[in-house]
Chains A and B, each alone.
Chain A
Amino acid sequence: MNMNKESHGVFVFAQQVDKTITNVSYELIGKGKEIAVELGTKVSAVLVGSGIKELAQNLVEYGADRVIVIDDEALETYTVEPYTQALTAAVTAYNPEILLMGATAIGRDLAPRVAARLHTGLTADCTVLEVDKEKQELFMTRPAFGGNLMATIECPNYRPQMATVRPGVMVKRLRDKEASGEIVVFDAGIQKNNCYVEVQKVVKHIAHKIDIQDAKILVSGGRGVGGKENFKYLYDLAEAVGGTVSGSRAAVDSGWLEKDEQVGQTGKTVRPGVYFAVGISGAIQHVAGMEESDYIIAINKDAGAPIFSVADVGIVGDMTKILPELTKAVWAEKSNKESL
């Protein structure tokens, strides 16, 4: 929609699947709230689905000032057209200045269809969202050229300013059970049309081995692990942190891991959120495959290992002693959090 001065408020698409709100929605409410405060406005979550009204309070507890609930049988299982109708109706009725969505397999399909229907700009997979004080508009920064370049994008003349953000980039607020917010039921007037498709079957992937390139956390071992039996320390830590085990060429050549678990120039290039390099010296061929990881934690006996020059955190020590204690500490922290 063409820019008009009346638009105000930050909207976040609250994605739910099987009546569970996707984590990225909470993360975006956290970010949306920050932006809203800067702009002197409020953050609203748009909760779309069928029989999902009882989920709205969760969004309030994570920071939504208002939840707009669109409840319709056509929204039971995600398909792009009725969801597009739902979101565009809400945007048209409330006229927000910003609309944020998760860059999920749903969000990356839905957001462009919504943006095209509204005639506005959309910036994909943003890693930084900030308010430009002078212009009072959203500056959206995203990687381009396979992550080699960052670009900051604005959408000056159309509203809402739309952005998708990858899961895990923004930080959700601490849950506030006492929080109160407005919950509004909105009739989007969803109508079946020629753009409907029919979902004939939903097949959930059974937990299978995760491709190390898809893993958010990798616990990676090298020659310094010392033997196949010592990999149990890595598997235990991986289980605790919700990660996957991978390794260097040395670990694969020694028969401790499979070829498809190898990181490096002759293996796979990975860029997880966290990369534990355990007993990996850090040969350049290995580093080439993991240096783009967001956060690198290296544990190695050899204080002179080159891996320490790329690590964010370097621990000089014996992994057979550190890993079991670290695993225990992670479990303790998790159970501590759950009881909160």
Chain B
Amino acid sequence: MKIIVCVKQVPDTTEVRLDPVKGTLIREGVPSIMNPDDKAGLEAALRIKDRNGAEVTVITMGPPQAADVLRESLAMGADEAVLVTDRAFGGADTWATSCTLAAACGRLGYDIIFTGRQAIDGDTAQVGPEMAEHLNIPNVSYAAAIETEGDHLLVKREFEDRYHEVKVQMPCLITALAELNAPRYMTPGGIFTAYREKEITTWTRADLPVEDENIGLKGSPTKVVKSFPKTVKAAGMKIERGVDESVQFIMDKLKEKYIL
């Protein structure tokens, strides 16, 4: 069985701070990590490998330093790693990203593709289902548990108030929730092999069968008009009155804000 896991290197957004004076993001010193949902996808793939045997390939699209998350994946137990990197891929929205990654997956071949549900820097949850569409394969999003059964997967698909037990034929794409599992740590032997012995394959624009009009900034249907820091809100109003007036005041605000 061939499993591809798509991983993304992301800034640890819990560490991102705003410059209180300039109102800009302070990016310096923010650690880069493997996106948590993607790591759950990788762990799911490695567990299938442990149980049934499988060849696990991790791919990422990003700048050269994104290779760090590939090394980490190899050290956790992935077999192969592919870095998709080219200036031509830069500035891609989810459409262009999914076209590029789908082309890379098509070149690799697969029975299962795992992506994380969403990345913590973009939070879109779009790239996985869009890839599945480009590849014309079924997708199951929000996976909270996975089992293999012959040429099918049984997936626990989470919703707000319920879950579905879904049977899906391979080849298929699954988007993993971080809750899916507790990812393993890198082993010392794994780290040694990952950094000393394993090669990372690099693919550029020339290596992938993609159309120029579907990649990078130019191939992105959505464009960023502007970005701005979230306004830091000022203190609101404070009143010191009797019980009835206080209650009325809160009720008015709750209604004004359509909370009631």
Contact = CB atoms under 8 A, between A and B. Distances in A.
Interface stretch (A4-12, A224-232, A307-315): A307-315
Interface string B243-260: 110111111011101111
B36 to A, nearest CB: 12
A202 B166 CA distance: 9
Interface stretch (A59-67, A75-83, A91-99, A254-262): A75-83
Contacts of A84: 133
Nearest to A315: B246
B123 interface: yes
A149 B237 CA distance: 26
Contacts of B121: 144-146
A122 B259 contact: no
B60 interface: no
A340 interface: no
B243 A322 contact: yes
Contact of B138 (A197, A217, A322, A329): A197
Contacts of A322: 243, 246-247
B221 A121 contact: yes
A109 B67 CA distance: 28
Interface of chain B, main secondary structure: mixed
Interface string B95-129: 10010000000000000000000001111111111
User: How large, as a class, is the contact surface on chain B?
Assistant: 35 or more
Interface residues of A, number: 86
Interface stretch (B10-18, B39-47, B72-80): B10-18
Contact of B253 (A116, A139, A196, A313): A313
Contacts of A315: 238-239, 246, 249-250
Nearest to B255: A333
- Residue from A104, A109, A139, A321 with most neighbouring chain B CB atoms (10 Å): A109
Contacts of A203: 162-165
A122 B94 contact: yes
- Residue from A108, A200, A311, A322 with most neighbouring chain B CB atoms (10 Å): A108
A115 B130 contact: yes
B222 A196 contact: no
A93 B245 CA distance: 56
A288 to B, nearest CB: 11
A313 B237 contact: yes
Contacts of A143: 123, 230
B260 A115 contact: no
A51 interface: no
Given A110-B129, A303-B240, 6 more contacts: A116-B95, A121-B221, A156-B223, A200-B166, A203-B164, A205-B161
5 closest A-B pairs by CB: A146-B13, A121-B221, A314-B238, A116-B133, A121-B222
Interface of A: 17, 77-81, 84, 104-106, 108-113, 115-117, 119-125, 139, 143-158, 171, 194-205, 217, 241, 269, 273-274, 295-297, 299, 303, 308-318, 321-322, 325-326, 329-330, 333-334, 337
